Amino acid sequence: MARNHSYSQTLLSWLICLNLSLSLSAASHGHISKGKRGSLVKGMFVFGSSVVDNGNNNYRIVRLGRANYLPYGIDFPFGPTGRFSNGKNVADVIGGLLGLPLLPAFADPRTRGRKIIHGVNFGSGGSGILDDTGSIAGGAPISMNQQIKNFEYATLPELKALLGQPKPTQVLDGYLFLTAIVNNDFGLNYFLQQSSSRPSLPVFVANLTSTYAAQLQKLYDAGARKFVLLAGYPLGCSPMTKQISNSVQCVQAANAAVQLFNDQSITMVDGLKQKLPGSEFIVVNTYKIIMDIIEDPISKGFTNATDACCELREIMRVGVSCKKGGEVCAERNKYVYFDGQHLTEAANDVIASKAFFSNSSTEVYPFNLQRLALL
């Protein structure tokens, strides 16, 4: 508990400082590739945090969480786009395995008309399940609730008009719904609250889980049927969290919080499946997949599972984002972490291929994405 307390206090003062000192940078634009034939699904709608953001934060005044400068995107075909990685993020890789083109970012004004036909990405760095996540730390991410509204009130009517089908279930038939959202509810919310005044962890997690369930049901009510949920990542093992806690080992309090949520989200999806006729949910255990790499990187093809690949912009001696134009490791496919918090494309590849192909229900529950896509 003592460690936990000092972790949150240090993080909070660090974030306040970060807010005061970060400046805005010019938006850069992602590119949209042409549709491909032979995809397993019609398309995919993506909701979540920086894990999946593909440029939405470029269009917002967000002090926390933009990645539209080098070395982000150093290995991406179009350079820096706002993706928090050297190359593709996990939603891009999963989309590729499904045979989909790269999806457009919702906030990009060019995301209109036929460009939305294979889906849209609503993800926003710093956001969470709870509306105040991220904003507690002074950022202005697009919350999960707002992302869902953007889908319901902007994208869905446009898609209906494009496809010319009145029934929601018909319109969204064949589309997947991918969510990757929870980590900031801990890192940029729970652990920033005073430990004396915040709810107990089980109470907070119960609230998170029921809020998340209501959000998923909102998508279902709009016509969504096939859901892919990425579980929470091992927050305590990121270079940033370890640095804040001055720990060489993974920070157990942060990991335990995410694990509690992950365990309960299995119960949540079992319940939702019962309650919502025709729905299918799979949960990708990103926590386990990343921990398995961290515990034995060499056997998984990695050499460095502890440090960020890019030179970090350190504020109060803690680094989360890459330094603009800073140095970058040469063997990027051997590192797990690209910056203080986000994964390399190589690590995203592992998660996506486990999600798609694994037959182990401890990795993807209750069955894999390939099977979901073919249902």
Ligand X SMILES: *[C@@H]1O[C@H](CO)[C@@H](O)[C@H](O)[C@H]1NC(C)=O
Cis? peptide before 166, omega within 30° of 0 = no
- Nearer to ligand X (CB atom), residue 120 or residue 229: 229
Give the one residue of 304, 314, 316, 367 binding ligand X; rule: CB under 6 A. Answer: 304
In whole angstroms, what is the distance from residue 146 CA to residue 168 CA?
20
Torsion of CA 90, 101, 129, 113, to 10 degrees: 160
Q: Which of 165, 217, 252, 306 binds ligand X (CB under 6 A)?
A: 306
Nearer to ligand X, 20 or 214 (CB): 214
Paired tokens of 93: 């890789």
The least distance separating ligand X from the CB of residue 74, rounded to whole angstroms, comes to: 15
Question: Least distance (Å) from ligand X to the CB of residue 274?
Answer: 19
- Close Cβ partners of 179 (under 8 Å, ≥ 6 residues apart): 46, 47, 48, 144, 216, 227, 228, 229, 230
- Contact map string, positions 349 to 368, toward ligand X, x by CB under 6 A: --------xxx---------
Active site residue 85: no
| String marking each residue 181-220 x if it binds ligand X according to CB under 6 A | --------------------------x--xx---------
Is there a catalytic annotation at residue 342?
A: yes
Least Å distance, CB 367 to ligand X, is 9
Q: Indicate whether 329 belongs to the interface with ligand X (CB under 6 A).
A: yes
Sole binder of ligand X in the list 307, 315, 326, 367 (CB under 6 A): 307
Query: CB-based contacts of 57: which residues, under 8 Å, 6+ apart?
Result: 50, 65, 66, 67, 82, 107, 124, 125, 126, 141
Q: What is the DSSP string of 77-111?
A: TTS-SS-SSSS--HHHHHHHHTTPPPPPBTTSTT-
Q: Rg of the Cα trace of the chain? A: 19
Q: Which CB atom, from 197 or from 274, has the smaller least distance to ligand X? A: 197
CB atoms within 10 A of CB 222: 18
For residue 297, say if its preceding peptide bond is cis, omega within 30 degrees of 0.
Answer: no
**Considering CB under 6 A, how many residues would be counted as binding ligand X?**
11
- What is the smallest separation between the CB atom of 116 and ligand X, expressed in angstroms? 31
What's the closest the beta carbon of residue 73 comes to ligand X, in angstroms?
A: 20
Which among 243, 223, 209, 182 is positioned nearest to 49, based on CA atoms?
A: 182
Q: Of residues 49, 342, 349, 358, which has the active-site annotation?
A: 342
d(CA 176, CA 1): 40
- Write down the catalytic residue from 28, 39, 49, 50: 50
Point out which span in 21-29, 72-80, 136-144, 304-312 binds ligand X (CB under 6 A).
Answer: 304-312
Q: Quick one: tokens of 137?
A: 């730390």
Angle at 104 between CA 99 and CA 108, to 5 degrees: 175
165 binds ligand X (CB under 6 A): no
- By CB under 6 A, tell whether 370 contacts ligand X: no
Catalytic one of 53, 92, 185, 339 = 339
Residue 303 in contact with ligand X, rule: CB under 6 A: yes
Please give the residue ranges that form the binding site for ligand X (CB under 6 A).
207, 210-211, 303-304, 306-307, 329, 357-359
The catalytic residue positions are 50, 339, 342
